[in-house]
Structure 1
Amino acid sequence: MIKLNLDCFNLILKESRLDKKSLYSCLLVNKEWCNLVVPILWKKYSWYCNHKESEKKIFIIILSCLSTSSKQFLFNNNIKLPSTIFLKPLSFNYISFCEFPRAGIIDNIKDMIFKDEILNNFDYSTKSNLLEQEIYKLFVSQCKNIKILQWKTSQPLSLFPGAKECFSQLNNLYISIDSVSPNSLYEMIQICRDLNGLMIYNCSQNLPGLISLIDAQKNLKKLSLFKYIKKEYCKELSNAIKRKYNTLNDLCLHSLNIISPSFLTSLINLKNLSIYNYDNDNIRGDIKEFQHYLMISEFSELEYIDFYGLSWFEELAILIEKTKGNILQVIINSINKNAENTGLLIKAISNNCPKINRLYTHLEPKDFIHIKSLLLNCRNLSRIEFDSLNILVNENYNFGDELLNILTEFSPKSLIYISLSGDWKFSTDSFELFFESCRNRNTNLLYFGITHESYITRDHMLIIRRYINEGIIKGSNCV
């Protein structure tokens, strides 16, 4: 029998979709297979344990990999490692196979070590910090060319031995600014200049180290700003974003009250724009400035729009009218049930977005008139989700029938995911006609859902169940 080249077999294993159990079976074949499979198992599954006992075994191996000097250092500081750790050299350098651990993994290791100890706050803080330091030193020294780092620790990762080999190829950096020391930021700048994605958490003020880190990146494409705590207006951060106009094409904002939105007009290459507002009190404040800059901005290459907690229907309509027709997805989830100009958004999409495949927006029945042109002009639509604005109280009129009749007559064959508001009230006849139209044009719906279900009766549910049984609908929240 011809022996399979190990390099070929290694490539097959890496590219395969074998689950954890199947890989374990391969591991037991012989020593050669074991040598190939162990790195793959640790790369894919080291941080994805199904239960506590498996997690504990992983942690024991990690602690066993600590150097003799680290173990002695911890012992000298009265930090007792489990008696089950391996005292002899391990068969593999397991740490070198792992993805760099998230902060939560390190926390879980510390919890395992200290769970049976009764410590006051000072002793716990001191011991926890020392153990965390040695574990991070281990990973920094053994992990090479990692692509993703979640930096949520005060440990000076960029100063540890091996930091250059570990972080020089970083592609995506998640960083909690409130946890990281300024000196570490400056050291990371010397190592890491090729980030594609930078996700920043918990910034509350202008930090020169952060500004320098952004400026140092030569090809920054994605920037996300999360969970800001406002202490001062971060004007320099806004200016730093503006200076990345040439490379930045993906922007995600989770707070609107920390930076000036003046940078928006500079981002001429933007393709993805996500803005989330979770602060109801912010609606009449800083948000007005964002609305202004959004209206005067021009993102001609825009492809994805995702807004939450905002009612910027008119602003979005104006923005979409200035694009080149490349938009693929629009999601706008308003928290203002009295929003206006929803029809303007539908018309703008209908006239300017021939490639769009997903649309989530709020509507009023007066907007239904625009849905026909939307369906006729946007023949690539595969997913629509229409939610109500003002909840209607007229129980004697089936507002939803008008919408379903339009969908029945004009839906493209590509449309396979539909979610509609139950506040509009549908007759069972309109349900029947719509599902029969799907049968007639050989369209099986992946999903048909009703939100709120205010007027959905048992008869509606029975109809949906029948069409599921017939294979016209794959899934629904109504059965």
Structure 2
Amino acid sequence: MTVAIEENTLQNLIPTPLTFDCFEETLSHLIDSPKTLYSCILVNRLWCRTAIPLLWSHPFEVHGFGERSSDIIQTYISCLPEDERQLLIDEGLDLPPSTPLLFDYSKYLQSFDSAFFTGAIMSWLTTRANYRLESDKDEEDPDLYTYTYLVQLIGNLLFSHSKGLRDLDLVHFGDDDDSLITDIATFDDASKALSRLEKFQFDYSAQKGVRELVIVEFWSPYVAEILFNSLICQWKSLTYLRFHQLDKDQFRLLLPILPTLINLETLQFLGFNSENENDDMIKSLLDISNEPINIKHLYYHFIDERLHLDAQNFIIPILQMSNNNLRTLYLDDVTPFLIQQIGINCRYLTHLSLTVTPEIPDLLFSLLISLQNLVHFSLYSNSTECTFSSTDSLIQFSEAIPECLKYFGFKLDFESLILGFFLKQCKAKLQVLAIYRSEFVDAAFLDELIKYAKEVGSLKKIMINWDGVIGGKTDDDTSDDLYYGDDEFENGEDGVRERIEILKTMVNVVYNIVDPSHPFSGPSMEYIDPWNQDITLS
């Protein structure tokens, strides 16, 4: 849909005394800040029409790998002509109904990275594609066939619609790996798309200097074995490694490789996939390798409720191999036995984030007492019931907090009375409090924060996560005293605004604590994604 804006209307929409050229130049400096640009497109029509081309000039560099990148491919599929969409449907893909888009997002691309591009298509096939296999195609590999076809189709779209690429980065992972090579010369109008090229980079090597590696999916067991063996070549350079939905057999291949990666600092798992895990799994995995590993940061985030399993069977071997080297630990789906293993194998943690359900196990109290280097602790529970089984458990928890702790974040059933009791019993002089459930933030809750800030004097920052609830009211509440913006809490129930103002004179108050780039700043991976939706202009 084309939106016509008259010249005098443009002048009214531009903040005076800026000209349109100055305004466009100003926004162009935000090209590497997609979250800021996403906020810009919500201002008005002009801001949106100026920010959208910047957002979509290099989308694969922002979300080249992982689930978020699949939304980019989904949008480009929506840009395809109906006859080409029908070709994908004929190949066995169930596509959602086509809806008109306000922009032709494909024409804004200026930077093309072949590795990010193919990674995004693999992510789409992994997370968004639904197949309808015919009986005569049962023995074929629909993923590999459709991947090749989709690379060509989306490549044709981008290159034929492009006004001219500025940056081009082609990556080849080695002589024995042709699975990810993209022949851009076969794309429609490739010569025209490359006629304005300003920067070209071609990476062709055995990749002996890889520092960061993200693996979304393995096409076959043979690919997994080859890739894990190739990691040995990166024994000195690799510092960051992330896997999506590893299964048990792939995990078995990984374990004996980890001790060889002497400079690996960060290991991250986004979900596990295993249909037949059992009680003997931990012992069988530990028999593979008992050599110590050097990682300092371990993250596990559970991303798919449909593939629920006991993650401790995967995590415990890593903990036992860590040889007390871990400093950062982020774990979802924590069991009492897993907490016990953390206490045995992770004595020198400085940053700890745990998600427990439904209530806090007593073993957590002993763990916290033993962690005498802990400065950052976040605790999550998705239960709507009281987190503590008794007053005694609340006392034990409060007194177990180590005195060295500086940051405490919580997503718990923490009403004002519980908060006040906790802060009174806690021996640590907290500098930062992060509150991940804003429905408990009422006048009484804020009174406890004010009291703590006055009496203890250590508090420097309070962070309150916006989750659609203010002082017990939800998004469905249509009363006039709710306001959605930077001051969510200031226009809430009586007394909240005044108490917020008092707090601001004492500490820094921040309303948005979600930062996906830092696992310890708020709930992980919960943020507005500009690639996941088309923009509606009012």
TM-score bucket of the superposed structures, by smaller chain: 0.5 to 0.7
The CA distance in 2 between the partners of 1:304 and 1:292, in whole Å, is 15
Shift of 1:448: 5.4
Shift of 1:316: 2.8
Q: What is residue 233 of structure 2 aligned with on the other side?
A: 216
Q: CA 1:202–1:387 in structure 2 vs 1: closer, same or farther (change >3 Å)?
A: same
Matched, 1:202 2:237: no
Equivalent of 1:368 in 391, 394, 399: 394
Relative to its length, the structure with more helix (as a share) is: 1
- Match of 1:220, as an amino acid? L
Q: What is residue 346 of structure 1 aligned with on the other side?
A: 365
Q: RMSD of aligned C-alpha atoms? A: 5.6
Shift of 1:239: 4.5
Q: CA 1:101–1:205 in structure 2 vs 1: closer, same or farther (change >3 Å)?
A: closer
The CA distance in 2 between the partners of 1:45 and 1:451, in whole Å, is 23
Equivalent of 1:408 in 404, 421, 424: 424
Query: Counterparts of 1:200-349 in structure 2 under 5 Å?
Result: 200-203=215-218, 205-206=220-221, 207=223, 208-217=225-234, 218-227=236-245, 233-234=249-250, 237-239=253-255, 241-258=257-274, 262=286, 266=291, 268-278=293-303, 287=311, 289-290=313-314, 293=317, 296-308=320-332, 310-323=333-346, 325=348, 327-334=349-356, 336-337=357-358, 342-349=361-368
Contact 1:417 1:445 (C-alpha < 8 Å) held by counterparts: yes
SS across alignment from 1:166: strand
Contact 2:443 2:496 (C-alpha < 8 Å) held by counterparts: no
Q: Show CA shifts across 1:53-84 (max 9, x none).
A: 55886799x9xxxxxxxxxxxxxxxxxxxxxx
Q: Show CA shifts across 1:386-430 (max 9, x none).
A: 525xxxxxxxxx99635523403646454332438799x999878
Contact 1:205 1:234 (C-alpha < 8 Å) held by counterparts: no
Q: What is residue 17 of structure 1 aligned with on the other side?
A: none
Q: What is residue 359 of structure 1 aligned with on the other side?
A: 378
SS across alignment from 1:369: helix
- Match of 2:201, as an amino acid? C
Matched, 1:446 2:497: no
Give the number of aligned pairs.
364
The CA distance in 2 between the partners of 1:406 and 1:384, in whole Å, is 13
Shift of 1:129: 1.3
Q: What is residue 498 of structure 2 aligned with on the other side?
A: 466
Identity %: 10
Q: CA 1:118–1:343 in structure 2 vs 1: closer, same or farther (change >3 Å)?
A: closer
Farther off after superposition, 261-270 or 342-351: 261-270
Q: So what's the TM-score if we normalise by structure 1? A: 0.56
The CA distance in 1 between the partners of 2:153 and 2:436, in whole Å, is 55
- Match of 1:247, as an amino acid? N
Shift of 1:156: 1.3
Contact 1:346 1:371 (C-alpha < 8 Å) held by counterparts: yes
Q: So what's the TM-score if we normalise by structure 2? A: 0.51
Q: Show CA shifts across 1:76-116 (max 9, x none).
A: xxxxxxxxxxxxxxxxxxx9xx969946667766765x447
- Match of 1:328, as an amino acid? T
- Match of 1:166, as an amino acid? Q
The CA distance in 2 between the partners of 1:299 and 1:227, in whole Å, is 25
Structure 2: 5+ residue stretches without partners? 1-17, 42-46, 92-145, 172-177, 187-193, 195-199, 382-386, 474-480, 482-491, 513-538
